[in-house]
Amino acid sequence: MSLAIGAGVCFLNGGHLGPARLVPAMACWSFVPLLRLAALGLVAAVLAGRGRVTARVIDLYGVGQGPWYVCLLGLSLAAIIDPSLRPWLFSPRPRDVVFTLLLAVVVAWSIVVRLAFFRLVLGLSPARARLAVVLMGALFWGAIAAYWLLSGQLLPRLL
């Protein structure tokens, strides 16, 4: 996951991939897989019982990130084809509407994959699988929002 994110950041920011760009990008964005795994461990312990997160479960969860890998690959390809591409979600310009729609598709696809993961891999009931998806999202995005708020970076973007 760190490699995919690092490569996507490199292509979006510079149009090429090299160790001098890739390693810092991977290090900078390493909090994403760490937060995902921490949230998975917590949600699995609460809803499926302790000891349910094994190496295989972590591998299958990583494979379930496919929608985001496809999104990163597509954005990277678009950035290479059009170096001026800088999609902005917070105040979409007319050309960002396509980006916003594609992002909505990726989010929906990701939710379906995560529901299947919790149902099939952890054996949760449909209701508990839905709760697991909501809790994972709340933990992940809540941690990011809390960091932005605590570091004073979120409010200026919203106001």
- Read off the pLDDT of each residue in 103-116 and give the average, rounded to a whole number: 91
Q: What's the pLDDT score for residue 92?
A: 62
Confidence of residue 102 (pLDDT cuts 50, 70, 90): confident
Higher-confidence residue of 30 and 124: namely: 124
- Answer whether 119's CB lies under 8 Å from 129's CB: yes
Q: How far is CA 81 from the centre of its chain?
A: 23
Q: Would the CA dihedral through 144, 150, 151, 153 be positive or negative?
A: positive
Q: Tell whether the model's pLDDT for residue 115 goes beyond 70.
A: yes
Distance CA 30, CA 43 (A): 20
Q: Tell whether the model's pLDDT for residue 16 goes beyond 80.
A: no
Q: What's the pLDDT score for residue 15?
A: 67
74-98 pLDDT, tens digit each: 877 777 777 776 666 556 667 677 7
Distance CA 40, CA 117 (A): 11
Distance CA 120, CA 108 (A): 18
The CB-based long-range contact list for 78-84 (8 Å cut-off, 24+ gap) reads 79/11, 79/12, 79/15, 80/11, 80/15, 83/15
Q: What's the pLDDT score for residue 147?
A: 82
> Which of 66-70, 86-90, 98-102 is modeled with the greatest confidence?
66-70
Distance CA 152, CA 1 (A): 27
Annotated domain spans of the chain? 35-158
Confidence of residue 128 (pLDDT cuts 50, 70, 90): very high
Q: Tell whether the model's pLDDT for residue 52 goes beyond 80.
A: no
Q: What's the pLDDT score for residue 109?
A: 93
